[in-house]
Structure 1
Amino acid sequence: MSAKQARLLLEDGTLFTGQSFGSETESTGEVVFNTGITGYQEVLSDPSYCGQIVTMTYPLIGNYGITRDDFEALRPYIHGFVVRNHEEIPSNWRAEYTLGSLLKEFDIPAIQGIDTRMLTRKLRHYGTMRGILTTSSEPVEALMERLQGSSLLTDQVERVSTKHVFSSPGMKERVVLVDYGSKSGILRDLVKRGCDVVVVPHTATADDIRKLSPDGILLSNGPGNPKNVPHAVETVKQLIGEYPMFGICLGHQLFALASGADTEKLKFGHRGGNHPVKDLISGRCYITSQNHGYTVKEESIAQTELEVTHINNNDKTVEGLRHKTAPAFSVQYHPEASPGPFDSSYLFDDFIEMIRTHQQNHPQSPKQAQIAAAAKASKGEYAHAQK
């Protein structure tokens, strides 16, 4: 049985025709590309891709199937998947089902058999653009009319963030993980280090977080424009200096905005597992996993209390920040990888060490201990209110 035809139409009028291997439906979104050779399941399930049609530049996708343990979220949030060749029969002892069956289960359209190299070169030259991916046989004019009537999402964080507080108990430092679309890898790295992790929604206020009596706060990755979540910026602003803080990807951008810096959209973004980043303090270069379409404007940092700690070796964009007086730092890339190299996992250790140093330098008074005990007792009350 021959596959149904699928088409991808870009807003500039470029049309790609191939075969469908996902859901026989239609979707619009921002067309982006990822340069990873492996890790397509982690890419699919990364909440940071919410609202996007993802093109994989590696030509063969699906050859090792889908495995339960490799998900980075409970479900994928992408709006479409584009590959050169899709392998229908995986060869992997861990595989539990196929890529095509996953896409059909979550009603995600996908296209194969197109020139992904041409598509990627176009996106690199002109920048990301809106697209419509469909199995409809309607005229191109009708598709273009629907595409022009569509708009990019602005509520991605609301769509992917947890709705309830939950915890992963540990015996060491309590870390409040603010979920803007967090990957499971971040939670895994904290739990691996024995942390008592409490995950809260993106809507959690500064007072909500204080009631949980954290030793440190981690601002997670997430999708979209950081300026679309001004409430998160305000919350971070109130907490800087009060608790040790670590921001990752979107969390890095929110930390920058809360400190008075500015952000802007990149032409085509950084998405893949091979991005070189230079540590300006040590001089070392790390190969990093990245997935973002926005960046912190370097010229906006001068009037803040921030300093640049890392830069991208390809385009010299800001990849890391540190606060000059408060115990807080952030990186634009993903130290938890998944997919990608684990060169930067040491940053979680740096975060834990920063928490311990802060505790040594700021011992609690009896009054502070009493307040902390009361706040800890109210943790259950806040968790119950969120249900």
Structure 2
Amino acid sequence: MPPHAPSTSPSAAPAILVLEDGRTFHGEAFGAVGETFGEAVFSTGMTGYQETLTDPSYHRQVVVMTAPHVGNTGINDEDPESRRIWVSGYVVRDPARVPSSWRSQGSLDDELRTQGVVGISGVDTRALTRHLRERGAMRVGISTTESDPAALLARVQQSGEMAGTELAGEVTTPEAYVVPADTAGSSGEGARFRVAVLDLGLKANTPRMMAQRGLEVHVLPATATLEEVLAVEPDGLFFSNGPGDPAATTAQVELLQGALERGLPYFGICFGNQLFGRALGFGTYKLRYGHRGINQPVMDRTTGKVEVTAHNHGFAVDAPLDRPTETPYGHATVSHVCLNDDVVEGLELRDADGRLKAFSVQYHPEAAAGPHDAAYLFDRFVSLLAGDL
């Protein structure tokens, strides 16, 4: 398709969106025709929609875009964060009819259709977002084939819930692979350290940013055992972002506890932060409507600096903000906190001498679409591997 050809038909088929509490929105088909179900969430990012769509953390979620105009820069082959689109459904107000960017290789509508993603446009996304903020994230259905809201509602209420669901195994890499260190971009003297990365829903920019810092990255499936991790002979361990309920993900928590017992340096992001919290003995809980988007303010309590950060999480760690916690592995403290609602956004673990052993953050320092305030965390990981912290 020519990059500037109109992509949305003015006579698109009607579509309906029904939330599990019965609230109904009418619009037009956007993307594939059919029917889909998932957890309704909203993202506040005004850009980066291609990264959002291909983020495995959105698996089984229907994403509502709060920015009214979506798709104006089209789709390209450079920005995807994984091998496919993972969202269960997509909701926009005003889709761009003509993509306009020198990088565009096609339209968002066509890409959604090609990958079988059912969406809806022409929806009052502001009203829908306010409803989710007031009532909380909930199950939802979108259909271009069903005209009866009551019939669709019955199917929504029979669909699966996010709480209690383990999903990392559905999005992980099927096979281990290696991303070599970018020696040209680092010291030029070969890999500085070797890192074992557990793929729980890994985004492509994460190993890329590690490689840029001279790290040799060994990506392992979510089903990897501690023995398989140690067989890599890593200098450190990393847990990625990913979908699902951390309370339903147990094998990876046990793996991490075994790694901490052996003193293996650890860094985790997003889902990796939640699993780190559970490994340390903290609980996790479901947020009312979660944090999603690229404009969340977080304070790094270790430096006092505030970062604008990219988020995608519906669960959080339940850890005390006002005191350290003694764990079998050392002293655990909350290192980062969200300035909007005081949600735990990071943890760190230190030994009796105060040396850093492991740390994690709840957000995305690798955010390809930005912001890039938190990219320093990869440098902190390198310093941890070097024993400088």
TM-score by length of 2: 0.90
Task: Provide the C-alpha distance between the structure 1 equivalents of 2:370 and 2:16, rounded to a whole number of angstroms.
Answer: 30
Residue identity matched to 2:265: P
Paired residues of 2:206 and 2:366 also in contact (CA < 8 A): yes
1:303 CA drift (Å)? 4.9
Task: Provide the C-alpha distance between the structure 2 equivalents of 1:131 and 1:248, rounded to a whole number of angstroms.
Answer: 28
Aligned length: 359
Task: Provide the C-alpha distance between the structure 2 equivalents of 1:221 and 1:137, rounded to a whole number of angstroms.
Answer: 35
Paired residues of 1:277 and 1:311 also in contact (CA < 8 A): yes
Give the secondary-structure state (helix, strand or coil) at the position aligned to 1:196: strand
Q: Find the partner of 1:13 among 22, 37, 45.
A: 22
Q: Find the partner of 1:152 among 134, 145, 161.
A: 161
**Corresponding residue of 1:383:** none
Pair 1:77 & 2:86 matched = yes
1:329 CA drift (Å)? 0.4
Task: Provide the C-alpha distance between the structure 2 equivalents of 1:25 and 1:137, rounded to a whole number of angstroms.
Answer: 9
Paired residues of 1:23 and 1:103 also in contact (CA < 8 A): yes
Paired residues of 2:16 and 2:149 also in contact (CA < 8 A): no
Q: Find the partner of 2:204 among 155, 160, 184.
A: 184
Structure in which a larger fraction of residues adopt helix? 1
Pair 1:42 & 2:51 matched = yes
Pair 1:352 & 2:375 matched = no
1:347 CA drift (Å)? 0.5
1:106 CA drift (Å)? 1.1
**Corresponding residue of 1:134:** 143
**Corresponding residue of 1:163:** 174
1:349-369 CA-to-partner distances (Å, cap 9, x unmatched) read: 1101110117xx9xxxxxxxx
Pair 1:322 & 2:348 matched = yes
Residue identity matched to 2:312: N
1:12-46 CA-to-partner distances (Å, cap 9, x unmatched) read: 11110001121001010000000001000000000
**Corresponding residue of 1:309:** 335
1:252 CA drift (Å)? 0.6
Give the secondary-structure state (helix, strand or coil) at the position aligned to 2:31: coil
Paired residues of 2:146 and 2:152 also in contact (CA < 8 A): no
**Corresponding residue of 1:225:** 245
1:142 CA drift (Å)? 1.4
1:81-132 CA-to-partner distances (Å, cap 9, x unmatched) read: 0011001210001001110111111111111111100000011111001000
Alignment of 1:153-302 (within 5 A): 154-170=165-181, 171-172=190-191, 173-240=193-260, 241-299=262-320, 302=325
**Corresponding residue of 2:5:** none
Task: Provide the C-alpha distance between the structure 1 equivalents of 2:126 and 2:223, rounded to a whole number of angstroms.
Answer: 40
Residue identity matched to 1:356: A
Task: Provide the C-alpha distance between the structure 2 equivalents of 1:135 and 1:345, rounded to a whole number of angstroms.
Answer: 41
Paired residues of 1:298 and 1:317 also in contact (CA < 8 A): no
Q: Find the partner of 2:77 among 68, 76, 86.
A: 68
Indicate the larger mover: 95-104 or 304-313: 304-313
**Corresponding residue of 1:33:** 42
Task: Provide the C-alpha distance between the structure 2 equivalents of 1:137 and 1:214, rounded to a whole number of angstroms.
Answer: 52
Indicate the larger mover: 153-162 or 22-31: 153-162
Task: Provide the C-alpha distance between the structure 1 equivalents of 2:280 and 2:240, rounded to a whole number of angstroms.
Answer: 17
Residue identity matched to 2:108: L
Task: Provide the C-alpha distance between the structure 2 equivalents of 1:293 and 1:352, rounded to a whole number of angstroms.
Answer: 29
1:340 CA drift (Å)? 2.3
RMSD between superposed Cα atoms in Å = 1.5
Residue identity matched to 1:302: T
Residue identity matched to 2:342: K
Task: Provide the C-alpha distance between the structure 1 equivalents of 2:286 and 2:212, rounded to a whole number of angstroms.
Answer: 34
1:194 CA drift (Å)? 1.9
TM-score by length of 1: 0.90
Indicate the larger mover: 147-156 or 119-128: 147-156
Paired residues of 1:274 and 1:340 also in contact (CA < 8 A): no
Paired residues of 1:43 and 1:339 also in contact (CA < 8 A): no
1:128-162 CA-to-partner distances (Å, cap 9, x unmatched) read: 01000110234222111111111125242111001
1:272-307 CA-to-partner distances (Å, cap 9, x unmatched) read: 111001111211111111110000012497353311
Task: Provide the C-alpha distance between the structure 2 equivalents of 1:175 and 1:267, rounded to a whole number of angstroms.
Answer: 35
Task: Provide the C-alpha distance between the structure 2 equivalents of 1:79 and 1:167, rounded to a whole number of angstroms.
Answer: 29
Paired residues of 2:166 and 2:246 also in contact (CA < 8 A): no
How many percent of aligned residue pairs carry the same amino acid? 43
